[in-house]
Structures are given as structure tokens and as C-alpha cells.
């Protein structure tokens, strides 16, 4: 004997909708890739040679969930696995720029871009946050000082990879 359960919505114990149906077999599930954000700089900044500098990412393109802080330039998401993508671009042609994604004040990931030949490589990493971890974007130039541009070349973003 088979059983049939009919419902147009499943909720968790908090009354939050987990799955809904439109009655025609089309399901809508919870938004598992939230929170997410993308942010840019509003002003160009100078960075000194051999000095790791926190990048003032203070212009949110979007911030779903409100976990990016434009005053500290940090993303402090709830627990989960996240994909981070960032880039640091200079306004002048310098030999090298190193971009870092930091977690709780320590290097999590880095990339070296050679802007003199047009190579601009984003830094990206997947990491698991515990709910109190914070992430920010930093950069340095190992050869000489540089001006980081406040345009599409310098950004910080992340999104959750599911539940």
C-alpha cells in the first residue's frame, strides 16, 4: 500500500518555508546560496612596497543578508561553506601585485598578478566559516609603491555554497 502526502508548503520548526509547490509540480526550495555579497572601493588608494594593506572595500553592489560591514571591510557570515572571489587592480602598470584573502587576521589565499604583461589574476578560495570567522581583502606590491584603482578591477565577493 502506497501513501500520498499532499502539501503546498513544508516548514521548519521556526515556521520558515523550506519547500513550496505551485500545485503544478514546480518546487521552490530554500535559498541555500545566501548570504552573498559583492563590494568595491569608492576611492583609489596608495599602497607601499612590501607592506600588506587592508583594502577599503566600502561600496556594496549587493549584500544579501547584511553580513558585509563597509566600515571594517569585513565579511562575517553565518556558519557554512563559502566561495570567495576577489581581485586587486592598479591604476598604473606595475610589475607585480599580490592580493590576499585573510581569515581572522591570517592569510587564507593569495595570488600574484603581473600587471606589466596584462595578467590580472583573481584570488579565489572555498572555505568553511564557523559563524564568528571574518574575512577581508588585502594587497601588497613587492617591488614599488602602487595606486589601486577604484573601478571594476578591485572587488571582493562571496556566496554560500549551499546548506
> CA–CA separation, 58 vs 60, rounded Å?
6
Q: Tell me the residue ranges of DSSP E strands in the chain.
A: 9-11, 17-21, 27-29, 36-40, 45-47, 53-54, 59-64, 68-69, 74-75, 80-87, 97-103, 106-113, 123-129, 135-140, 146-148, 155-160
Cβ density class 84-114: b for 16+ within 10 Å, e for less? bebbbbbbeebebbbbbbbbeeeebbbbebe
* 124 contacts: CB under 8 Å, gap ≥ 6: 83, 84, 85, 86, 109
CATH 2.60.120.40, domain 32-160, yes or no: yes
Is the full-model pTM beyond 0.85?
Answer: no
Domain definitions of the chain by residue range: 32-160
Per-residue pLDDT of the chain (163 residues; tens, 9 = 90+): 677 877 777 777 877 777 777 778 777 766 666 899 999 998 888 888 888 999 999 999 999 999 999 999 999 999 999 999 998 877 665 567 888 999 999 999 998 876 665 556 789 999 999 999 999 999 988 777 777 777 677 899 999 997 5
Amino acid at each position: 500500500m502506497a501513501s500520498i502526502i499532499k502539501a503546498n508548503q513544508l516548514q521548519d520548526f521556526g515556521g520558515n518555508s523550506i519547500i513550496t509547490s505551485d500545485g503544478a509540480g514546480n518546487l521552490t526550495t530554500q535559498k541555500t546560496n545566501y548570504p552573498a555579497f559583492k563590494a568595491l572601493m569608492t576611492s583609489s588608494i596608495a599602497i607601499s612596497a612590501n607592506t600588506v594593506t587592508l583594502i577599503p572595500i566600502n561600496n556594496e553592489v549587493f549584500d544579501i543578508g547584511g553580513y558585509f560591514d563597509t566600515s571594517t571591510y569585513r565579511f562575517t557570515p553565518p556558519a557554512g561553506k563559502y566561495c570567495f572571489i576577489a581581485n586587486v587592480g592598479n591604476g598604473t602598470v606595475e610589475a607585480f601585485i599580490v592580493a590576499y584573502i585573510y581569515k581572522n587576521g591570517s592569510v587564507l589565499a593569495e595570488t600574484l598578478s603581473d600587471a606589466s604583461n596584462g595578467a590580472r589574476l583573481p584570488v579565489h578560495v572555498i572555505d568553511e566559516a564557523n559563524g564568528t570567522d571574518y574575512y577581508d581583502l588585502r594587497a601588497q606590491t613587492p617591488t614599488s609603491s602602487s595606486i589601486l584603482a577604484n573601478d571594476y578591477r578591485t572587488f571582493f565577493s562571496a556566496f554560500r555554497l549551499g546548506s
